[in-house]
Structure 1
Amino acid sequence: MEHVKAFVIKGVMSFIILYFVLGLGFHAGFGDLLLITLLLGLLSYIAGDLMILPKTSNLTATASDFILSFFMIWGLGLILFDYTDSLMAGSLFAAFLIAMGEWFFHSYMADKVLRINRKI
């Protein structure tokens, strides 16, 4: 149950950021934002939160989340959006904001979900 709660928290955080950056800035539709949120959330939860975070540090996991977020948002945006002028800049900004949120989310994950006893 803790994984479901963590995944929902991560999804809500990502969706809000994507809405403000891509929804308002690039007129991305609700369905497109939801699809990006779900795909990004699933991949980054498995790779960043369950595989990288327990074996490395918060910094490493956050950096990997930033890179993954940027490429997924940019790539999916090129496929899904009609307006793609300056999408790279928007993707970088959204990935940066998501990584900032992930920094704090990783503390929650380590403490409440993964129960890692080290300071990250």
Structure 2
Amino acid sequence: MDHAKALAFKGIMTLVGLFLILTIGFGVSFWNVLLLTLIIGAISYPGDLFIMPKIRNMPAVFADFALAFLIIWLVGLAIFEPGTPAPLAALISAAVLAFGEYYFHTFLATHLLPANNKLRMDTQ
């Protein structure tokens, strides 16, 4: 049940962030935003569970930023309408998602991960 809450938190955060930037800002369809949300979640959630507890929050946020940027840019090249500036859209979207990831990592550290994770020690 805890993983369902964490996935819902991450999924809603990602969907809202991408919708605001990509759909409203760049005219990307909602279905493409939903597809990107699923891809980003499927690739980054395992890293959040297994890599993030071993490092501190900010390195994990920077890693999530880089991962989101690459995914949005590369997938965007295939699914965005011609003329959409995929690198710019990816940069802005990744920055917004990284902001949310900071709080998501704190949620994971305090609600799902073992008590001896490095991030939890930083929040106490």
Question: What is the TM-score of this pair, normalised by structure 1?
Answer: 0.92
Q: CA deviation at 1:24?
A: 1.3
Report percent identity of matched pairs: 38
Q: Specify the alignment match of 1:119 in structure 2.
A: 122
- The reply to whether residue 22 of structure 1 matches residue 22 of structure 2 is yes
Q: After the TM superposition, which residues 49-60 of structure 1 pair with which residues of structure 2 at under 5 Å, given as runs?
A: 49-60=48-59
Structure 2 unmatched ranges of 5 or more? none
Matches within 5 A, 1:1-120: 1-47=1-47, 49-117=48-116, 118-119=121-122
Task: Say which SS state the counterpart of residue 71 (structure 1) adopts.
Answer: helix
Tell whether the 8 Å contact from 1:54 to 1:116 is kept in structure 2 after alignment: no
- SS at structure 1 position matched to 2:122: coil
Distance in 2 separating the partners of 1:50 and 1:78: 29
> Which stretches in structure 1 are left out of the alignment for 5+ residues?
none
What is the letter of the counterpart of residue 40 of structure 2?
A: L
Distance in 1 (CA, whole Å) between partners of 2:15 and 2:40 is 10
Please give the per-residue CA displacement for 1:95-119, whole angstroms capped at 9, x wherever unaligned: 0010010001100001101133422
Q: Distance in 2 between matches of 1:94 and 1:116?
A: 32
Shift of 1:89: 1.2
Tell me the amino acid that sits aligned with residue 86 of structure 1: P
Equivalenced residues, count: 119
Q: Specify the code of the residue in structure 1 equivalent to 2:24.
A: L
- Give me the TM-score of the superposition, normalised by structure 2: 0.90
Please tell me whether the aligned partners of residues 26 and 83 of structure 1 are also in contact (alpha carbons under 8 angstroms): no
